[in-house]
Amino acid sequence: MSISEFFSTIKESQFNIAQIYEKAPNETMILLAIIVVAILVVYFVVSNSIKVSNTVKLVENILDSKTYDEIDKKLSILSDELPKRGVKVTDALNLVKEHLLFRTSKLLANMTISQKIEKYQELSKKYAQIAQASKKQKNEDLVVFYEEKSKELLEVNLAEEIAYYLENVHFNENEVENVNAIVKYANSLTNPESIIDPMIQTMNKFSYGYNIDLFKLIEKLTKEDSKQVFENANEKMEELFNSGDKEISKIILDYLLEKNENQKVYDYISSLSIKSYLQQLHDLYFNKKDDLNLDLAFIANPLKIDSNYKSYLDESLTTNWRDSSHIEFLSKSKGVLEVLGHMEFRTLIERIDNIKVENENRKMIEEALAIAKRAESIALEAKSLNKRPVIMTQATQVKKTSEN
């Protein structure tokens, strides 16, 4: 059937699809297919036009965003839509790209360094996606701009933010998250030492022995999260407590005593080789804390300072002259022999032996008394049984009467 005949058939059938299909089924199907395709094309064109218009509006309004999260959300939409929506969107973005970067930087300014590290990495990734999407639209200005800025955001902007943080940071226990975030980011780079080394140098400018805030920060660092910074801090702490030639402030020593980390303090004092500082600590702590082990830590230190250890030990032994465990503990403590001298120390050992003998004798006497009391109790019980009257039953009395 020719086209003219087909249209005549349509006219004769008064556009009745059933009659038209009955007379010209093939031509009807072709016509319907053409109509469907035309509708789809119109729908696609209109839909795309609407989406282009919406995306252009999104670009034009992106600078009005009040928070970084708003911008981030819009950039995510933009990176998805940009390859599909043609030159109108890329032209609109090209007009605001510099302002958009400035606006984003302002919204990032008041975040913590850990947040900035996260956001700058996100932003760099999105800029790289936009650059790639711009290639499909062949917009060289956008491609060059977003490729360069994607790198600069990390290599320049974030690097400057970290440097500024390290120049101005007051290290304390609240900085743990920031420190760990910097360490994690640094170790993701090909040259982590470019960030780690300045960070360690900054930390080393502070006094490990006098800065209680730094001390508390170091306590919260972990090998898993803080890595190189933890290793450096741990080495400094080992040296601080074990070298014998470093001063640790009273504030830190008091903090450790309050946390019941007493042994650290005892070991530090007993091995301290700075005579003048040992004297200071002696005047602050010795015989003032009701802590025998703390006092003995000073006595254990071989340095000769202005002290009266002999009088202290004599008083302690006199007060506890019957306490063999106390006397024995003192006798085994480092430095006590040197303070008392060999003669008095021998007397001290003899006193311990005498107390042990006395305690053994007392124990034997107490055991003998206990046995005697038990024997007396048994004897009294037996005596009471012998004195008890014999009660005869009625049957026994009858038998005895009949026998008589």
pLDDT in tens, the chain (404 residues): 555 555 555 555 655 566 555 555 665 566 566 666 666 655 554 454 445 555 667 666 777 788 888 888 888 888 777 777 667 777 778 888 898 899 899 999 999 999 999 999 999 999 998 888 888 778 888 889 999 999 999 999 999 999 999 999 999 999 999 999 999 999 999 999 999 999 999 999 999 999 999 999 999 999 999 999 999 999 999 999 999 999 999 999 999 999 999 999 999 999 999 999 999 999 999 999 999 999 999 999 999 999 999 999 988 888 887 787 888 898 889 998 888 876 776 776 676 666 655 555 566 666 656 665 665 666 566 666 666 555 454 555 544 544 44
Which of 242, 260, 291 delimits the end of a domain? 242
Residues 140 and 175 in one domain: no
Residues 121 and 155 in one domain: yes
Check if the beta carbon of residue 209 is closer than 8 Å to that of residue 236. no
Task: Tell me whether residue 327 is in a domain.
Answer: no
The per-residue DSSP string of 238-292 comes to HHHHHSSS----HHHHHHHHHTT-HHHHHHHHHH---HHHHHHHHHHHTTTSS-H
| Range 51-55 contact pairs with CB under 8 angstroms and sequence separation of 24 or more | 51/81, 51/84, 51/85, 52/85, 52/86, 52/88, 52/89, 55/81, 55/82, 55/85, 55/89
Task: Tell me whether residue 320 is in a domain.
Answer: no
Residue 38 CB-density burial (10 A; 0-12 exposed, 13-18 middle, 19+ buried): exposed
Task: Tell me whether residue 306 is in a domain.
Answer: no
pLDDT at 357: 58
Sign of CA dihedral 170, 176, 181, 187: positive
Residues 148 and 54 in one domain: yes
Task: Tell me whether residue 276 is in a domain.
Answer: no
Q: Rounded CA gap, 30 and 245, in Å? A: 98
pLDDT at 398: 47
pLDDT at 48: 47
Distances (CA, A) of 134 to 35, 141, 159, 396: 35, 9, 27, 129
Task: Tell me whether residue 269 is in a domain.
Answer: no
Which of 242, 257, 291 delimits the end of a domain? 242
Residues 175 and 229 in one domain: yes
Task: Tell me whether residue 97 is in a domain.
Answer: yes
Overall number of domains in the chain: 2
Task: Tell me whether residue 392 is in a domain.
Answer: no
Which of 227, 242, 257 delimits the end of a domain? 242
Residues 204 and 98 in one domain: no
Residues 151 and 179 in one domain: no
pLDDT at 89: 74
Residues 208 and 145 in one domain: no
Pick from 198, 200, 236, 195: nearest CA to 215: 236
Q: Rounded CA gap, 243 and 252, in Å? A: 17
pTM for the predicted model, two decimal places: 0.73
pLDDT at 368: 57
Residues 80 and 184 in one domain: no
Residues 152 and 182 in one domain: no
Domain that holds residue 102: 50-168
Q: Rounded CA gap, 90 and 196, in Å? A: 40
pLDDT at 404: 45
Residues 164 and 220 in one domain: no
Task: Tell me whether residue 213 is in a domain.
Answer: yes
CA-based max dimension of the chain:
164
Residues 6+ apart with CB under 8 A from 327: 317, 320, 321, 348, 351, 352, 355
Residue 395 Rama label (left phi>0; alpha psi -120 to 50; beta): alpha
| Range 103-111 contact pairs with CB under 8 angstroms and sequence separation of 24 or more | 103/63, 103/65, 103/71, 104/68, 104/71, 105/157, 107/65, 107/67, 107/68, 107/71, 108/68, 111/68
Residues 142 and 75 in one domain: yes
Residues 205 and 219 in one domain: yes
Distances (CA, A) of 154 to 151, 197, 336, 375: 6, 18, 63, 94
